[in-house]
Amino acid sequence: MTCHAPAELRDVAGTAPVILIGNPNVGKSALFGALTGRYATVSNYPGTTVEVTQGWLAGAAPQRTVIDTPGLYSLTPLSDDERVTRDILLDRQPAAVVQVADAKNLRRSLLIAVELAETGIPFVLAVNMMDEAAARGIEVDAAVLAARLGVRVVTTVATRKDGLAALLDTLHQAKAGQLEMRYSAPVEAAVAAVEGLLPQATLHKRGAALMVLAGADDLLARLHVPAAEQAAIRAVRSQAEAALHQPLAVAINRERIAAVDAILADAVRVRAAGRPWSEQLGRWAVDPVLGWPILGVVLYAVYLFVGVFGAGTLVGLLEENFFGEIINPLLTGLVETLIPFPLVQSFLVGEFGLFTMALTYAFAIVLPIVGTFFLAFSVLEDSGYLPRLAVMLDRAFRTMGLNGKAVLPMILGLGCDTMATMATRILDSRKERIQVTLLLALGVPCSAQLGVLLGMVGGLGLWALAVWGGVVVATMLVVGWLAARVIPGKQSDFILELPPLRLPEWRNVVIKTLARMEWYLKEVVPIFIVGTALLFALDLFGALAWIQQALAPLVVGWLGLPIQATDALLIGFLRRDYGAAGLFDLAQQGLLDPVQIVVSMVVITLFVPCIANFLMIVKEYGARIGLAVAATVFPLALLVGGVLNVVLSWVM
């Protein structure tokens, strides 16, 4: 189905954008995709979107921007990604805000609607996920909601594009909410006092006053409130809190909940309905006992698909048969007959050749592994299992001074550490963000690396997997524990909503997998080529042998690896997965014994973050933190690997 904007919309003056906002995981990005035809990542866990995505409203003329934003719980933000959304609302002066709500959980959505009404920003309410609400016997009366809120209300199923035409029709009818929320006397007195202290030019003074009273101190600077007035506003807040015996944020929220519940009593009916199968399974997945075998089954299934099928069967077919027996001999023959220069020949098809190394690694080893991993990962993401995993691992994370919310970026790191470093924005405190960034750089192998690892270590048997996993996890626990004590700041509470388990949408899974593979190839192939060219140059000028000699005490003496492993470790500086692919190659040539495989895999897992990840850390936290992370991680990898070598050689 294509969507056409109604004629009226084309008449709206200017190019003020349409902004999608709402609670996390309610379907904003899915709706964004339907409205613009542009794909924004859609996943079944809160916090998928951490950056703003823009697109054009399909079929609208003049062109109108649509903005997808990170989810928020309130317009008084707690975390950085929530603040992004609030600031966009205040800065971009939207033509219309589409507040997306989850029909199954309207209460928390209406809390935002109340806040929106107080800001006076024109909006419409899209009550999404009507299909799931119906399956649970929840009936939403859009007309009652519209009457009580004073804005247009549309019901939608974003994944099926149901209600899209109606939504497009209402966009030009967006208007400020009419819900006049009256608070108790002490709150109203404080609001009036703060309104008087805000600069004359402040838009929507009442809304701003309520945000400030609820704790949005950063707003004062944004509104250019002079220092004296800022102090006076804080005094008003303290006085009111003393009178109410509770923080104003709590008091305000309580009164809003009461108002929202009154609306819901009229607008929502719940009929007795059969429980969907997914609900029971969802409960088992977080059960303190049953949750573990379920986790085991999930991990084993991923291992079978990525480690055995991807890294084993597919890589075997591609690397040995397709590239080894057909492509590379063909290319070598061609190059040798067509190009008479030995130097160019070896640059293209030699030991460190463009085709024989860079492209073979990229397409025959890494691509099948990343592909299968991304596929498995997208299925997991869309199923709603990941937040349940966070709940299961919460306890282990507590020992590191982190909470279960930190599990999500760490699991995303299994896809790509660079993306995951950005996803740390969903964490509430800077301390936790830096801690998770460090752990990501240290011990979370990205998909390509993980696949290679599973293929190599798994081939040796369960003991090897257990040793590798045990050493890496133990190192992370120790480092996490220490980091919690070294990095200043506080730990925040763990509140994570559990979305329902659902069968993944195959279309979304395919789009997401392909998008990630494309992104990966664009990023990886150039780096592989640069890395190979570097090795080629080093080899050509005899520097490689010299470096190997110089590093021999470390690589051969301390880590107990063959001298050729130096090359793999060198290119590991560019990308850890490239290094891992090099070791994979060595192992296939029979140059690594079991102890060497396990040791080299532990080292390359804990190795320095890849260049992209390093740059992302610098972008998010500055060069000082980036260098500190690298300087912690690198010596530690060598230390742990060496000790493991000593222990394993002694045991075996």
Ligand X SMILES: Nc1nc2c(ncn2[C@@H]2O[C@H](COP(=O)(O)OP(=O)(O)OP(=O)(O)O)[C@@H](O)[C@H]2O)c(=O)[nH]1
Where do contacts with ligand X occur on this chain (CB under 6 A)? 24-30, 42-44, 46-49, 70-71, 128-129, 131-132, 157-159, 382, 505, 508
Instruction: Output the smallest distance, CB 184 to Mg ion, in A.
Output: 36
Indicate the residue among 380 and 472 with the shorter CB distance to ligand X.
Answer: 380
Between 145 and 452, CB nearer to ligand X:
145
Residue 44 contacts which entry, ligand X, Mg ion, none (Cβ below 5-8 A, type-dependent): ligand X
Pick from Mg ion, ligand X, none: which does 128 bind, CB < 5 to 8 A by kind? ligand X
Q: Pick the closer one to ligand X by CB: 71 or 531.
A: 71
In sequence order, what DSSP letters do the residues of 4-40 get, joined into one string? ---HHHHHS-S-PPEEEEESTTSSHHHHHHHHHS---
Taking the CA of residue 224 as centre, how many other CA atoms within 13 Å lie in the half-sphere pointing to its CB?
Answer: 5
Tokens of 606: 């804990």
- DSSP reduced 3-state for 537: helix
CA distances from 104 to 139, 144, 167, 212, 499 (A): 9, 17, 19, 30, 10
Please report whether residue 29 would count as binding Mg ion according to CB under 5 A: yes
Q: How far is the CB of 72 from ligand X (least distance, A)?
A: 8
**25 lines the binding site for Mg ion (CB under 5 A):** no
83 vs 206 by CB, closer to Mg ion: 83
- Among Mg ion, ligand X, none, the one that 129 touches (CB under a kind-dependent 5 to 8 A) is ligand X
Cα-flanking dihedrals φ and ψ of residue 608, to 5°? -55, 150
Residue among 128 and 645 whose Cβ is closer to Mg ion: 128
- Residue 30 interacts, among ligand X, Mg ion, none and using kind-specific CB cut-offs from 5 to 8 Å, with ligand X
Least gap, CB of 69 to Mg ion (angstroms) = 8
Q: Which of ligand X, Mg ion, none sits in contact with 157, Cβ below 5 to 8 A by type?
A: ligand X
Other CB atoms closer than 10 Å to residue 539's CB: what's the count? 16
Helix, strand, or coil here: 589?
coil
Phi and psi based region of residue 124 (left: phi greater than 0; alpha: psi -120 to 50; beta: remaining) = beta
- Measured from the CB atom, the residue of 19 and 599 that comes closer to ligand X is 19
Residue 327 backbone phi and psi in degrees, to 5? -65, -55
**Could you tell me the smallest distance in angstroms from the CB atom of residue 40 to Mg ion?**
6
Contact between 49 and Mg ion by CB under 5 A: the answer reads yes
CB 6, min distance to ligand X, A: 22
Question: In 200-209, which positions are buried (b, 16+ CB within 10 angstroms) versus exposed (e)?
Answer: eebeebbbbb
- The first and second tokens of residue 104, run together, are 């199954």
Crossing angle, helix 506-540 and helix 576-588, to 10 degrees?
A: 70
- Residue 332: CB atoms within 10 A of its CB come to 17
Q: Which is nearer to ligand X, 46 or 572 (CB)?
A: 46
Contacts of 299 (CB under 8 A, 6+ apart): none
CB-wise, 157 or 389, nearer to ligand X? 157
Q: Judged by CB under 5 A, which stretch of 29-37, 417-425, 444-452, 600-608 contacts Mg ion?
A: 29-37
> Given the rule CB under 5 A, which of 40-48, 161-169, 505-513, 633-641 is the region that contacts Mg ion?
40-48
E-only strand ranges, 173-256 = none
Using alpha carbons, list the distances in angstroms from residue 276 to 207, 283, 500, 549. Answer: 40, 12, 10, 64
State the nearest-atom distance from the C-beta of 28 to Mg ion, in Å. 5
Q: CB under 8 Å to 318, separation ≥6 — which residues?
A: 363, 364, 365, 367, 368
3-state secondary structure of 580: helix
Residue 140: contacted member of Mg ion, ligand X, none (CB under 5 to 8 Å, by partner type): none
Q: Which is nearer to ligand X, 31 or 90 (CB)?
A: 31
Smallest gap from Cβ 473 to Mg ion, in A, equals: 31
Least distance to ligand X, CB of residue 78, Å? 14
* CA dihedral of 255, 258, 264, 266, whole degrees rounded to 10: -120
In the complex with Mg ion, the residue whose CB is nearer, 49 or 566, is 49
Stretch that binds Mg ion, among 47-55, 429-437, 565-573, 617-625 (CB under 5 A): 47-55
Cα 460 from chain centroid?
32
Question: Which range of residues in 42-50, 138-146, 542-550, 571-579 is near Mg ion by CB under 5 A?
Answer: 42-50
Read off the DSSP letter of residue 219.
H
Nearer to ligand X, 71 or 177 (CB): 71
| Closer of 28 and 206 to Mg ion (Cβ) | 28
Closest CB 499 distance from Mg ion, rounded Å: 12
Closest distance of CB 320 from ligand X, Å: 38
Say if CB 437 and CB 617 are below 8 A apart: yes
Strand ordering across the sheet containing 18-22 = 53-56, 65-68, 18-22, 96-102, 123-128, 153-155
Of ligand X, Mg ion, none, which one sits near residue 46, judging by CB under 5 to 8 A according to partner kind? ligand X
| Biggest distance spanned by C-alpha atoms of the chain | 91
DSSP string, 254-322: HHHHHHHHHHHHHHEEE---PPPHHHHHHHHHT-TTTHHHHHHHHHHHHIIIIIIIIIIIIHIIIIIII
What does DSSP say about strands 65-68 and 53-56: parallel, antiparallel, or unpaired?
antiparallel
Least separation, in Å, of the C-beta of 381 and Mg ion? Answer: 12
Among 23, 44, 48, 437, binds Mg ion (CB under 5 A): 48
Work out what residue 382 binds among Mg ion, ligand X, none; the CB cut-off runs from 5 to 8 Å by kind: ligand X
Site string for Mg ion, 465-494 (x = CB under 5 A): ------------------------------
Nearest CB to Mg ion, comparing residues 23 and 447: 23
- Is 387 or 609 the residue whose CB approaches ligand X more closely? 387
Q: How far is the CB of 23 from ligand X (least distance, A)?
A: 7
- Minimum Å gap between C-beta 38 and ligand X is 13
Tell me the backbone φ, ψ of residue 495, rounded to 5 degrees: -130, 115
Picking from 131, 134, 122, 75, the residue whose alpha carbon sits closest to that of residue 96 is: 122
43 lies in the site for Mg ion, by CB under 5 A: no
> If contact means CB under 5 to 8 A according to the sort of partner, which of ligand X, Mg ion, none does residue 523 touch?
none
Q: Minimal distance in Å, beta carbon 131 to ligand X?
A: 5
Binding site for Mg ion (CB under 5 A): 28-29, 48-49
